[in-house]
Structure 1
Amino acid sequence: MSATDMTASEIAAAVAAGSLRAVDAVGAALDRIAAHDEDVGAFTDVLAERALARASAVDAARMAGKPLGPLAGVPFAVKNLFDLQGIPTLAGSRINRDDPPAARDAALVERLEAAGAVCLGGLNMGEYAYDFTGENLHDGPSCNPHDLGHMSGGSSGGSGSAVAAGFVPLSLGSDTNGSIRVPASLCGLFGLKPTFGRLSRARSFPFVASLDHLGPLARSVADLALAYDVMQGPDPDDPHCAGRPAEPVLPRLAEGAEGLTIAIAGGYFAEHGEPEAFAAVARCAAALGADRVVELPEAHRARAAAFLITTTEGAALHLERLRRRPGDFDPAVRDRLIAGAMIPASFVAQAHKFRRWFQGAVAELFETVDIVLAPATPCRAPKLGQAVMSVGGEMLPVRANLGLYTQPISFIGLPVAAVPVWTAGERLPIGVQVIGPAWREDLVLRVAGALEAMGIAAAPVARL
């Protein structure tokens, strides 16, 4: 088996056993990137020299008999809003290219490398993370490796396409309104949006401070759990992640879904989608023996309030850039931010008030169930450049609506695993959200792992 076909767990085990050198795993990844990324468009910065030096250090440690980390020799890459020492943090923009190089890696990059992983570079993304398509005006689109004429999803498009293409077995993305789960759904990957405040955001470029989450994408649930576990822990550099102790989940994967009460999201989450979205949920539910239907109350208002908070907080963050360099923004991003700057403060206050109510209402729901299943996206990956899509017989703008099922969940910071479901004869997958109560990443990953073990969810490497 080629190293580029291996999962992160398989690479780490082989490196620890001495049957695979870290430099060979990294070299194979760099070769595959060189051969195919011109077509895929996943990377904006490939840090080959850094990566090979780091891999050599891992191999030297093994030869010296030193203990290796649980991700020893595993290549990974990060959305280019994570700081990487020595290069500017682009955040998908033209403007940030004029910034000085980052002085230090992002906290999560440091934690992965402390566990032995090897960072290969920065990944393409939607400008300032305000995107669901994976199309970047400045760097071009990150394409869907399973069909290069289709979208990877955004805004962590490069994070999705890099893993699906077999460039790396693990990547990091960010999720404000769905930007991990949408690429996971469209590219056929497992993705984890942890509970808000669970993983440190230190030294990453923000979008919406009250909604931003960081998390991993991978081709197996074990890889998600492995990466998640090494990234956990308090960080005084992120006030939202300062006090929560680590709660490892990898040892609990073997418990599976046994004994859990699993329900299907109805109402809003059973509308506005194409048949394949609901069929994927039904398939997962049947495999898990779940037939109870529950409703997240006022989910459509939660999405509207998430839109409002997103655009106003984003506008406040970028106001000075909008004044100084309006012509250097993607016009679609610029116009949404300008609109956000003009929203009355009373509207924002009402959105936050509703958010508190919705959070409480959903918490009450989770007193009666352990897990809720819902579609991740309303359809499979649209074509590159496609402006509108048919959703439930209605034509809707693609850019704004690929996240219509993800926004109400990130709005209240709940943990979610996206799992990829394939249909025979289809080149493209579609994802299902496995949603749990706050701080219960163990539950969502146990259910995701059960679906993987049953063969319902799978994340194959694309054949480029």
Structure 2
Amino acid sequence: MSATDELFTMDGAAMAEAVRSGRLSATALVQASLARIAATDGQVNAFTDVVRERALKRAAELDAQLAAAPSGPLRERPLLGVPFAVKNLFDIAGIRTLAGSKIERDSAPATADGVLVQRMEAAGAVLVGGLNMDEYAYGFTTENSHEGPVRNPHDLSRIAGGSSGGSGAAVAAGQVAITLGSDTNGSIRVPSSLCGIFGLKPTFGRLPRTGSFPFISSLDHLGPFARSARDLALSYDAMQGPEAGAGTAAEGYDPGAAQGAIEPTVAQLGLGTQGLRIGVLGGYFERNAQSAALAAVHRVAEALSAVERVELPLVEAGRAAAFLITNAEAGALHLANLRRRPNDFEPLSRDRFLAGAMLPAAWVARAQRVRRAYAEAVARVFEHFDILLAPATPCAATPIGTESFEINGRRLPLRPSMGLLTQPISCIGLPVCAVPVWGADPRLPGLPIGVQVIGAPWREDLVLRVAASLEAAGVVRAPVGPCTFF
């Protein structure tokens, strides 16, 4: 089997093992990734930047080091030779950090890689490029008017989700094994759901955001996408840990980083779900989901023998608070450019930023109080449960250009409403793994839809353990999309 064929069927852990054993070289894997990008990205449109020379140089260095010391410490790197890519709000040395915008094209190239990019490469992974996204991470469809829409590899006429749409599509298309994205209100879980892959939104503050373009500082999370739960755990473990010499935001450090100790998760993936108290979220999460999304949750719940239904208190108030906080912080962040260059924003983003800039401060202060009360109420729910299950998106991927969709007799605008089920979870910083279910909608058998596996703060180990158990049982899976049906 050629390296290119193996790239489409192996996860990153298997790729790294093939490099360690000498069956494949890091160079062969990177070349295969670059070839796949060249062959498919004209259709998928996941990449905005491909750092070909850098990737090949890095792969050659890894191969040379491994040849010089076959039994050396390099062999222990968990992602040895694995190609990965990052949403283009992560800094890549020598590349402009676009954040999906036109305005940032005038900025200077980044002088250094973002912290998480550095940590992935320290684990042996090889960066191959930057990925398309919604402008300034404000959206759930990645129909970017500056770069063009990202297309879903399972049906090119449909959206990949957003705002990390390129990150989801690149993994689903087999272009790379792992990608990094951001999640403020659902931007990892929505593309994971629509593209049929695994995605992890860690606890707020768990992974440092230094070297990434902000959207909402009090809500932003960074995390990985992959085609297996094992790859999520490997990359998540590699990115954990406090920043050396961390200081203030003015000095370039992440003020929201928790600076906690590393808590590895990989060794716990095979422990199963015995003894875990698992509930199924109802109420709000049932009212705002189509039948296919509910069927996906039912399938996962049945596999986990989860029968108890739970309603989150204050959930609608929590989502409303998240909306106000998002708009207010985003408006403040972009106010100078809204004054100087209003026509260089995408119109929908510009109008939402302007609305946020005009929100009364009293409203925002009240939203933060509601957010705190909601977090405290949900913490009490986790006194009785270890894991909660909910749909990740209200529906499967919609055709590109869709403006609205229907849920339980209500017609809703698509772009904000794809985050109906994710926003109430991220606004209180809970860790979530999105897992992909297939065949939940008999009308769309070739499309996936995701389920959120939600844990209490700092329990990424449990959400990844449940995801791995579901994957081992064949309940969830992440096949590579055919990149057809255009």
Question: TM-score if structure 2 supplies the norm length?
Answer: 0.95
**CA distance, structure 2, for counterparts of residue 241 and residue 312 of structure 1:** 22
Aligned to 1:227: 235
Pick from 152, 160, 163 the counterpart of residue 152 of structure 1. 160
Residue 3 of structure 1: which of 3, 6, 10 is its match?
A: 6
1:417 corresponds to:
433
C-alpha separation in 1, matches of 2:165 and 2:6: 23
Q: In the alignment, what sits opposite 1:92?
A: 100
1:337-396, Cα deviation, whole Å (9 max, x unpaired) = 000111111110000001111111100100100000000000000110111111222111
Structure 2 residue matching 1:172: 3-state secondary structure = strand
Superposition map of 1:156-195 within 5 A? 156-195=164-203
AA partner of residue 67 (structure 1): P
The code of the aligned residue for 2:7 comes to T
2:40 is aligned to 36
Distance across 2 between alignment mates of 1:202 and 1:338? 27
CA distance in 2 between counterparts of 1:257 and 1:64 reads 43
CA distance in 2, matches of 1:463, 1:328: 35
**Cα shift at 1:3:** 3.2
Counterpart in the other structure of 2:20: 16
- Once residues 392 and 379 of structure 1 are traced to their aligned partners in structure 2, the CA distance between those partners, rounded to angstroms, is 12
Which residue identity lines up with residue 455 of structure 1 in the other structure?
A: G
**Is the CA contact (8 Å cut-off) linking 2:7 and 2:15 kept in structure 1?**
no
Match of 1:447 in 2: 466
Distance in 1, matches of 2:297 and 2:128, equals: 35
Residue 426 in 1 paired to residue 445 in 2?
yes
> Out of 57, 62, 65, which is 1:58 matched to?
62
Q: Shift in Å at residue 438 of structure 1?
A: 0.2
Counterpart-to-counterpart distance in 2, 1:394 and 1:164 = 31
Aligned ranges 1:296-315 → 2 under 5 Å:
296-315=312-331
Match of 1:47 among 42, 47, 51: 51
Query: Aligned in 2, Cα 1:242/1:393: closer, same or farther, shift over 3 Å?
Result: closer
Counterpart secondary structure, 1:359: helix
Structure-to-structure mapping, 1:379-390, within 5 angstroms: 379-390=395-406
| Displacement of 1:218 | 0.3
Once residues 228 and 376 of structure 1 are traced to their aligned partners in structure 2, the CA distance between those partners, rounded to angstroms, is 20
Instruction: Kindly indicate whether residue 357 of structure 2 is the aligned counterpart of residue 338 of structure 1.
Output: no
Say which is worse superposed, 233-242 or 110-119, in terms of deviation.
233-242
The aligned residue for residue 375 of structure 2 is 359
Pairing 1:91-170 to 2, within 5 Å after superposition: 91-170=99-178
In 2, the alpha carbon distance for the partners of 1:415 and 1:151 equals: 25
Is the CA contact (8 Å cut-off) linking 2:134 and 2:143 kept in structure 1? yes
Task: Tell me the distance in 1 between the aligned counterparts of 2:258 and 2:190.
Answer: 28
Partner of 1:211: 219
| Amino acid aligned to 2:366 | Q
Secondary structure in 2 matching 1:150: strand
Q: Which amino acid aligns with 1:14?
A: A
1:242 Cα offset (Å): 4.9
RMSD across aligned C-alpha pairs, in angstroms?
Answer: 0.9
Q: Distance in 1 between matches of 2:340 and 2:358?
A: 18
Pairwise CA distance, 1:225 = 0.1
**What's the counterpart of residue 366 of structure 2?**
350
- What secondary structure does 1:77 align onto? strand
Q: How many angstroms apart in 2 are the aligned matches of 1:116 and 1:273?
A: 40
Give me the whole-angstrom Cα distance separating, in 2, the residues matched to 1:259 and 1:57. 46
Tell me the SS of whatever aligns to 1:241.
coil
Q: Look up the match of 1:323.
A: 339
Uncovered stretches (5+) of structure 1, i.e. residues with no partner: none
1:61·1:67 contact (CA, 8 Å) conserved in 2? no
- C-alpha distance in 2 between matches for 1:316 and 1:341: 6
CA contact (8 A) 2:47 2:166 kept: yes
Kept after mapping to 1: 8 A contact 2:12/2:178? yes
Q: Matched residues, percent identical?
A: 60
Given that 1:3 and 1:28 are in contact with CA atoms closer than 8 Å, whether structure 2 keeps it comes out as: no
SS of 1:349 mapped into structure 2: helix
Cα deviation 1:97-154 (Å, max 9, x = unaligned) = 0000000000000000011100001000000000000110100011100000000000
Q: Distance in 2 between matches of 1:126 and 1:3?
A: 31
Counterpart among 387, 393, 396 of residue 377 in structure 1: 393
In the alignment, residue 434 of structure 2 is paired with which amino acid? Answer: A
Separation in 2 of the partners of 1:205 and 1:250? 29
In structure 1, C-alpha distance between the alignment counterparts of 2:104 and 2:272, rounded to whole Å: 44
* Partner residue in 2 for 1:282: 298
Show the counterpart of 1:259.
275
AA at the equivalent of 1:109: V
Distance 1:311 1:241 in 2: 22
Is contact 2:202-2:221 (8 Å) kept? Answer: yes
Deviations 1:293-346 (A, max 9, x none): 111112111111111100100000000010111000000000000001111111
Give the Cα–Cα distance (whole angstroms) in 2 for the partners of residues 457 and 29 of structure 1.
25
Q: Which amino acid aligns with 2:22?
A: G
Q: How far apart, CA to CA, are the structure 1 residues paired with 2:470 and 2:357?
A: 43
The alpha-carbon deviation at position 243 of structure 1 amounts to 2.3
Q: Residue 403 in 1 paired to residue 407 in 2?
A: no
Residue 201 of structure 1 aligns with which residue?
209
State the distance in 2 between where 1:455 and 1:304 align. Answer: 37
SS at match of 1:199: coil
User: Is 1:438–2:457 an aligned residue pair?
Assistant: yes
Spell out, residue by residue over 1:256-295, the C-alpha distance to the aligned partner (whole angstroms, 9 max, x if none).
Answer: 2111000000110111211001000011000000000111
Distance in structure 1 (CA, Å) of the matches to 2:272 and 2:45:
36
Name the stretch that deviates more: 166-175 or 242-251. Answer: 242-251
The alpha carbon displacement at 1:463 in A equals 1.6
